Amino acid sequence: MHDSTCTNPAIVLVGASRGLGLAMTAEFAKRGWDVVGTVRGTARTGLHDLADRLPEQITVQSADITDTGQLLALRERLASRRFDALFINAGTVNQNPNETIAEASPDEFVHVMVTNALAPMRAIEALAGLVTESGLIGAMSSGQGSVSNNTQGGRELYRGSKAALNMFMRSYAARHAGSPRPFLLMAPGWIRTELGGPHAPFTLAQTVPDIVNVIIDKRGRPGLEYLDRHGKAVAW
């Protein structure tokens, strides 16, 4: 636990039940960080297994990021602690990612946009006060959120949701101009997870150490950057 008797840096990682979030939790712990990872609901997840193995470093909390009441309750439960970073990893994709935007049902549109664009910003608003004044605030975007790199099309709703997230983070950073905080939008690359699918070229083991490097390196560099996992700026 990160308190006055302990000097480990600490991060809140939202959406850590599986995939990239779970692997990032393990990687941060390996680097000596304390991690509060969140899951949805009450079912046991890989994060619970990891926390059982590393109880000094990993704490499991629960919050659905689309439920503002649950985000505020999470803030209350963590109110006595201060963190060096907050990273919103949770995200989703529509059932048929290759449908065109006009083919997406309004329900799917709302679900993906709320989960990937509105909810991360609400999570940031709800939880930012838990982070030290110069602590990092980041969110998992995607290279597919780049408007200027979209020359090939495809995954239209998902792209739109991540582009919206990027825009909302830019607005948030503009509202906090002059703040000592680093803000980060991460484009991790195409990675084999449930969301990334079996044809993704990279494994978690090949990519997550780089993702964590970029988050750690970004500390101490105030302002917003949209970076790939090698630390290279992605065109907006």
Q: Interface residues with ligand NAP (CB under 6 A)?
A: 15, 17-21, 39-40, 64-66, 89-92, 115, 140, 142, 188, 190-191, 193-196, 200
CB of 158 to ligand NAP, least distance (A): 7
Give the pair of three-digit tokens for residue 92: 């989703």
DSSP classification of residue 115: I
Half-sphere exposure in the Cβ direction for 27 (13 Å, CA):
21
Residue number, 58 or 222, with CB nearest to ligand NAP = 58
Residue number, 40 or 82, with CB nearest to ligand NAP = 40
| Strand 83-88 relative to strand 34-39, pairing | unpaired
* 178 vs 76: CA distance, rounded Å: 28
Residue number, 172 or 190, with CB nearest to ligand NAP = 190
CB atoms within 10 A of CB 208: 24
Residue number, 8 or 92, with CB nearest to ligand NAP = 92
CB of 178 to ligand NAP, least distance (A): 28
Give the pair of three-digit tokens for residue 80: 């006595």
CB of 6 to ligand NAP, least distance (A): 27
- Report the amino acid identity of residue 117: A
CB of 145 to ligand NAP, least distance (A): 8
Residue number, 191 or 216, with CB nearest to ligand NAP = 191
| Strand 34-39 relative to strand 223-228, pairing | unpaired
Inter-axis angle of helices 106-113 and 156-175, nearest 10: 40
CB of 195 to ligand NAP, least distance (A): 3
